[in-house]
Structure 1
Amino acid sequence: MIDKIAPSIAEALAGVQDGATVLIGGFGTAGIPNELIDGLIAQGARGLTVVNNNAGNGDTGLAALLATGRVRKIICSFPRQVDSHVFDALYRSGRIELELVPQGNLAERLRAAGAGIGAFFCPTGYGTELAGDRETRVIDGRPYVLEYPIHGDLALIKAERGDRWGNLTYRKAARNFGPVMAMAAKKTVATVHEIAELGALDPEAIVTPGIFVSQIVKIDRVATQAGGFRKTA
């Protein structure tokens, strides 16, 4: 019987190796799998390469992971904002490597990994430092840069509902990079707020099929004084 429900985040993340490439969903603060990031911090893997749209906010979540000093490199499209002081300090002191990738290129490189595409040509970044020394071509009169897929050893994503087969649905903007990251990683762990019975999820509404998901962990919603929600493991 297929049952991908893990009893705890610690068990779901057991065995993450030093030097792993970890794809972490989220766009700004929307859809960040904070509980899984905290679990990765507790797990202790070092020398990580992290792929995310941003480079952390404040002192929690991804910023907290960076602050441990266990991230060697970050691949992202938006590393600096008003509260990205953890990344900023690490980068200025030479303690973390940055690969800056335009946002659309980032999404497509992840999608290419999941689709089994070896490389593709994209016009974004041509003629800029972001193109580096990669191959360029002119196709139908327009210049393009050769881009390569981003494969992950582990993807950490935040979903809304899931079933024991690992099928996932998302809540609004929390979806963002989750679907392509789930496809691009060897192992995908997702948190969900609700576990549905098999057949309860409308097949037309399933965004990430369970074939791309290794384990899911249920987390609770806890109301805050501000009237929002805080997610806890």
Structure 2
Amino acid sequence: MQAPPQRLINKVVPIEEAMAFIEDGCTLMFGGFGGVGNPPTLINEIIRKEVKELTLIGNDTGFPDIGIGRIVSRGMAKKIIVSHIGSNPIAGKLMMEGKMKVEFSPQGTLVERIRAGGVGLGGILTDVGLDSMVEEGKQKITVAGKDYLVETALTADVSIVYAKKADTFGNLIYETSARNTNPLVAMAGKWTIAEVEEIVEVGELNPEEIITPGIYVDRVVKSKGVDWKWAWE
């Protein structure tokens, strides 16, 4: 039997080692919004490794040739849980052809479900979707005389996030809109891999700027940056 992966103090590893966590059929949660904040080097390696039958959880499906959309457009996902797919027509085509299951969740609800998963809650209560098709198949409860839907928490086998800077323990700093969803996604994976632009030693980051504490991060890989030729391979 293969030994389980170790929890590390110095979490910086070659990308090939980090990719050992991402296998066929796994549930993969990704940070970012419209492709911004998706980890490009990890996505490229997933494509190169030809990982298949993925369940993807994140805000959206990016664009056909940008971000997580590059994985979706290649038919590598069997199911996605997202707030919308409108910017990626290939995702819509795969859904209509029955080649990929799509679970839609309102954006705020989706983010809260991820947050709930990250902090160990079973789910959240929301009135969004009451008396609509969103209600189908979901539990409804009444609290203090008001009805709510129970939306289950979301977690993943692996979370992949993108950050501006990290130290070797995995404390993360994000840049501008790349902060969208990444901090919550980092909390909700059984294993979390952070792709970062710059890596420094422990103690070199300003504690006031750290958004994701390293306790949530298991592996750190150096980003190779966005190479747009990937989009047309």
Counterpart-to-counterpart distance in 2, 1:147 and 1:223 = 38
Shift of residue 220 of structure 1?
Answer: 4.5
Counterpart-to-counterpart distance in 2, 1:117 and 1:47 = 27
Equivalence for 1:136:
140
Q: Does 1:23 align with 2:29?
A: yes
Shift of residue 53 of structure 1?
Answer: 0.7
Equivalence for 1:208:
212
Q: Does 1:5 align with 2:5?
A: no
Equivalence for 1:227:
none
For structure 2, list consecutive stretches of 5 or more residues without a partner in the other structure. Answer: 1-7
Residue identity (%): 37
1:138-176 per-residue CA deviation (whole Å, 9 max, x = no partner) reads 323432101111110011111000011011010011011
SS of the residue 1:181 aligns to: helix
Counterpart-to-counterpart distance in 2, 1:99 and 1:214 = 28
Shift of residue 67 of structure 1?
Answer: 2.6
Equivalence for 1:42:
48
Does the C-alpha gap of structure 1 residues 39 and 93 become closer, same or farther in structure 2, counting only changes over 3 Å? same
Equivalent AA in structure 2 for residue 38 of structure 1: N
Counterpart-to-counterpart distance in 2, 1:195 and 1:163 = 5
Counterpart-to-counterpart distance in 2, 1:131 and 1:203 = 43
Shift of residue 200 of structure 1?
Answer: 1.2
1:85-135 per-residue CA deviation (whole Å, 9 max, x = no partner) reads 221221121110000000111111111111111122111111121222211
Question: TM-score with structure 1 length normalisation?
Answer: 0.89
Equivalent AA in structure 2 for residue 198 of structure 1: V
Equivalence for 2:5:
none
CA contact (8 A) 1:163 1:198 kept: yes
Q: Does 1:74 align with 2:74?
A: no
Does the C-alpha gap of structure 1 residues 15 and 135 become closer, same or farther in structure 2, counting only changes over 3 Å? closer
SS of the residue 2:34 aligns to: coil
One of 92, 97, 104 as aligned partner of 2:101:
97
One of 80, 86, 90 as aligned partner of 2:90:
86
Does the C-alpha gap of structure 1 residues 157 and 15 become closer, same or farther in structure 2, counting only changes over 3 Å? closer
Equivalence for 2:166:
162
CA contact (8 A) 1:38 1:61 kept: no
* Matched residue count: 222
Equivalent AA in structure 1 for residue 10 of structure 2: D
CA contact (8 A) 2:165 2:174 kept: yes
Counterpart-to-counterpart distance in 1, 2:226 and 2:148 = 48
Structure 1, 117-126 or 99-108: larger mean CA deviation: 117-126
Instruction: Give the superposed CA RMSD.
Output: 2.0
